[in-house]
Structure 1
Amino acid sequence: MENKNKDYKIAIIAGIVTVLFAWPSLKNIQVGGLYLRLSLFVVVPVLWVFGLWLGKTLSRWLAFLEQFAKFVVVGFLNTAIDFGVLNLLSILTGLTSGFLIGGVNVPGFTLAAVNSYFWNKFWVFSHKRLPGEKVQYNDFFTFALVVIIGIFINGGIVILLTTYVNPLFDLNPERWLNVAKASATVLSLIWNFAGFKFLVFKK
């Protein structure tokens, strides 16, 4: 019971931090007013807790779903960090396309990746350590390799869509940048989950 409650508390914290980092993105694409954004500090943590509860419940039949639910919570947090830093830098530099946007994309992705390592190691893919067992970080090199490949996948798609594909649906450059980033995030998320589960945090 204690571990379950701990998981839900972690999900609440992840939800609050997710909203904090999502703020620059919402501002840059001009979505929602102040009250809507403030309401997310309640809505998102509740959704994360519900998703985690659902994953734990369904794990009675499919064991991996609890782990996947945690991964999704962390994934949204990392996505918020990634998008938030990208949009903040886009606001500050005025860049929304071109090869330079690839460089602007790197800090957020890197910060999200480092954040991802610790959340995944100690929460999503964690295992119970024996008394006196020290935390090992010898998986960090493999993690870094997976992340570097993810950076190229993510950055390449962002550059491709913002530079060589005209915005669809009459979207402005700021919103099209976020559409491109969302597309890149989906593909890199698939790569990261596979890489983390089978290469980095394998048991």
Structure 2
Amino acid sequence: MAQNKQKRGPMQFLQFGVIGFANAAIDIGTLNLLLILFHTDDRGMLLLYNTISYILAVVNSYYWNASITFKRSAKGSNRQRILFIVQGLVSLGVSNLVFLGANELLQLIGTNNWLRYNVAKGLAMFLSFLASFFMVKYFVFRDYGKRYIDEKN
């Protein structure tokens, strides 16, 4: 049983990563589209744009990860949906803090707007991806019933 669990961990991370690339395309694509259509340097608007792009990616993430990566433990219950929303909000907080912080640091060193926004977004996506994976695996789609049975034996 432990060997099966060990194999599942790296495979889940790989699947989560592949889905993460699609999410990244949605996330950074939406941010850049918003910046092209409604360019701004206003911190509040940048926060709004980052939040919109992140939410679209999270919706995509939930669908695919519940269907593929964590399908064994994804029950589609209200509890899991609420926990997914909670982890999404925490990951959004990580994303927004990193995006705004990196944007400010890069602005101080004189990085041009396009590069600054995209590097800051890339860092935000990477760190929120890591936070999201571990929260989804160990908090949202955790197989409580199976773990309880394994601990009893």
Q: Provide the TM-score with structure 2 as the length reference.
A: 0.81
Q: Which residue of 2 aligns with 1:147?
A: 88
Percentage of matched positions with identical amino acids: 29
- Displacement of 1:174 in angstroms is 0.8
Question: What are the Cα deviations for residues 134-153 of structure 1, in whole angstroms up to 9, with x where unaligned?
Answer: 85343010100000111111
Q: Distance in 1 between matches of 2:76 and 2:20?
A: 23
1:72 — aligned with what?
Answer: 17
1:67: how far off? Answer: 1.5
Conserved 8 A contact 1:142-1:199: yes
| Structure 2 match to 1:162 | 103
Aligned to 2:62: 117
**Higher helix proportion (structure 1 or 2):** 2
* In structure 2, C-alpha distance between the alignment counterparts of 1:115 and 1:88, rounded to whole Å: 18
Aligned to 2:150: none
- Pick closer, same or farther for the CA change 1:179–1:158 going to 2, 3 Å: same
Answer 1 or 2: higher relative contact order, Cα 8 Å, separation at least 6: 2
Q: TM-score, normalised by structure 1?
A: 0.62
Give 1:114 shift. 1.1
- Structure 2 counterpart of 1:100: 45
Which residue does 1:180 correspond to in 2?
A: 120
- With 135-144 and 174-183 compared, the bigger mean Cα shift is at 135-144
Which blocks of at least 5 consecutive residues in structure 1 are unaligned? 1-58
Q: CA RMSD in A?
A: 2.4
Change (3 A) 1:66 1:103: same
* Structure 2 unpaired stretches of 5+: 144-153
